[in-house]
């Protein structure tokens, strides 16, 4: 088994990455390494923040392959917000519910119809680092709509407000397997996986 440290404390992300990378990979995260802290996400792009997190994790784990994900939701009618601020849209320690509430408020200001759907996308950037050296970057996007109407109990973050293109269900109503086949993270991981297959000992 190959060891990979995912620089996140979000168990949903770890679950998605573990499932998508498959059995040759033993994925560890910050919940299994509580002593590791990551630098502040001071970047203005998903890529900058993914690299900051991956290099931060790598500084604590010499010799280990470290991957970080930076992801978020971009709403066209809000000029791309919440974007890189998705996790802290309603404040530094905001919960997912608080972030969704703020997004609903912002949408209410621009849309007269509460059932309106606004074009949006999830974006994900993955950075792979070993010993502080950036090895590869992979990205993924899923287009769709956000709505003030929340549906479904699964997932995390903005899942219950996001309706992927071509589907009548929100991300929170899809099974994990269905979400993985079309999600931004699923696509980015597929790209990273194929790079790892082509570079077996990066
Ligand atoms: P990060 O952990 O700094 O990359 O922040 C990612 C944030 O974007 C999460 O806290 C969620 O609010 C949002 N996000 C990213 N990916 C997803 C997803 O797959 N579903 C729902 N929300 C997501």
Phi, psi (degrees; rounded to nearest 5) at 15: -65, -45
Helix-, strand-, coil-residue percentages of the chain, each rounded to 5: 40, 25, 35
* Alpha-carbon gap, residue 104 to 191, rounded angstroms: 33
Nearest CA to ligand 1 atom 9: 87
Which of 48, 68, 71 to mutate for ligand 1's pocket (most ligand atoms within 8 Å of CB)?
71
Burial of 133 (0-12, 13-18, 19+ CB in 10 A): exposed
* Alpha-carbon gap, residue 94 to 124, rounded angstroms: 20
Q: Check pocket membership of 70 for ligand 1, CB cut-off 6 A.
A: yes
- Catalytically annotated residues: 70
Q: Check pocket membership of 74 for ligand 1, CB cut-off 6 A.
A: no
Q: How confident is the model at residue 113 (pLDDT cuts 50, 70, 90)?
A: confident
* Alpha-carbon gap, residue 184 to 202, rounded angstroms: 24
Query: Of ligand 1's atoms, which has the minimum distance to the CA of residue 8?
Result: 2
Tens digits of per-residue pLDDT, 38-76? 999 999 999 999 999 999 999 999 999 999 999 999 999
Tens digits of per-residue pLDDT, 152-178? 998 899 999 999 999 999 999 999 899
Mean pLDDT of the chain: 94
Query: Of ligand 1's atoms, which has the minimum distance to the CA of residue 159?
Result: 21
- Ligand 1 centre and the CA of 67: distance in Å? 16
Domains of the chain: 2-198 (3.90.950.10)
Place of tokens 């998508």: 20
């Amino acid at each position: 088994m190959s060891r990979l440290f995912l620089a996140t404390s979000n168990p949903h992300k770890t679950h998605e990455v573990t499932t998508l990378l498959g059995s040759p990979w033993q994925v560890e995260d910050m919940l299994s390494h509580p002593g590791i802290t990551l630098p502040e996400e001071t970047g203005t792009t998903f890529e900058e923040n993914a690299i900051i997190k991956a290099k931060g994790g790598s500084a604590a784990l010499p010799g280990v392959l470290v991957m970080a994900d930076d992801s978020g939701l971009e709403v066209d009618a809000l000029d791309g917000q919440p974007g890189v601020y998705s996790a802290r849209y309603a404040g530094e320690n905001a919960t997912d519910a608080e972030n969704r509430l703020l997004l609903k408020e912002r949408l209410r200001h621009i849309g007269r119809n509460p059932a309106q759907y606004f074009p949006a996308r999830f974006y994900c950037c993955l950075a792979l680092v070993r010993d502080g050296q950036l090895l590869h970057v992979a990205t993924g996007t899923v287009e769709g709509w956000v709505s003030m109407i929340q549906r479904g109990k699964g997932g995390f973050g903005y899942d219950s407000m996001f309706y992927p293109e071509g589907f009548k269900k929100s991300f929170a109503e899809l099974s994990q397997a269905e979400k993985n086949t079309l999600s931004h993270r699923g696509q980015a991981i597929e790209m990273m996986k194929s790079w790892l297959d082509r570079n077996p000992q990066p």
